[in-house]
């Protein structure tokens, strides 16, 4: 069965990744960027380095961590490319883009930083 909305989404993501791929001078960070974005947008339960690396088929998260901490690329140019892509595909003269920072309730009580916090889905702090 052909899932047209999924295929359109995949095609659009592929087009966007090709557009911003030119901002990475070498093939390794370009591939890592692609793997990172697909992991962030994909069905990975916990979006940490190990889980994202595993989803991408990497043995360790070292490559993704290198991309985020030491690799050279221009974040402002990538942002501008993303902005232009969104404006081309979703833009309208009278349009408005609203971003909701809805969070998720943290699980557990023993992990570092796990305490009651404000979340749009859970309400105010207690």
DSSP 107: -
**Residue 122, exposed/middle/buried by CB under 10 A (0-12, 13-18, 19+)?**
middle
| 0.85 exceeded by pTM | no
First to last CA, the chain: 48
Axis-axis angle for helices 27-41, 62-69 (nearest 10): 100
Nearest 5°: the CA angle 85, 33, 74 is 65
pLDDT for residue 6 is more than 80: no
Quote the domain boundaries for residue 63: 4-90
Q: What is the pLDDT of residues 36-69, one digit of tens each?
A: 999 999 898 888 999 999 999 999 999 999 999 9
Both tokens of 93, joined, read 């003269």
Asked if residue 64 belongs to a domain, the reply is yes
What is d(CA 34, CA 14) in angstroms, rounded to the nearest whole number?
Answer: 9
Give me the pLDDT at residue 95, please: 80
Give me the pLDDT at residue 123, please: 60
Asked if residue 118 belongs to a domain, the reply is no
Give me the pLDDT at residue 115, please: 62
Give me the pLDDT at residue 104, please: 62
Q: What is the pLDDT of residues 76-116, one digit of tens each?
A: 999 999 999 988 888 788 888 777 766 666 666 665 666 66
Report the number of distinct structural domains present in the chain.
1
Give me the pLDDT at residue 19, please: 93
Asked if residue 110 belongs to a domain, the reply is no
């Amino acid at each position: 069965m052909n899932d047209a909305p999924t295929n359109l989404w995949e095609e659009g993501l592929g087009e966007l990744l090709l557009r911003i791929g030119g901002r990475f001078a070498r093939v390794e960070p370009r591939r890592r960027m692609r793997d990172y974005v697909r992991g962030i947008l994909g069905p990975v339960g916990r979006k940490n380095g190990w889980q994202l690396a595993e989803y991408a088929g990497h043995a360790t998260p070292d490559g993704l961590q290198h991309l985020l901490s030491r690799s050279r690329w221009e974040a402002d140019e990538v942002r501008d490319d993303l902005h232009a892509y969104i404006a081309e595909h979703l833009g309208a003269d009278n349009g408005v883009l609203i971003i909701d920072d809805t969070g998720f309730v943290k699980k557990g009580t023993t992990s570092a930083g796990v305490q009651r916090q404000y979340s749009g889905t859970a309400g105010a702090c207690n």
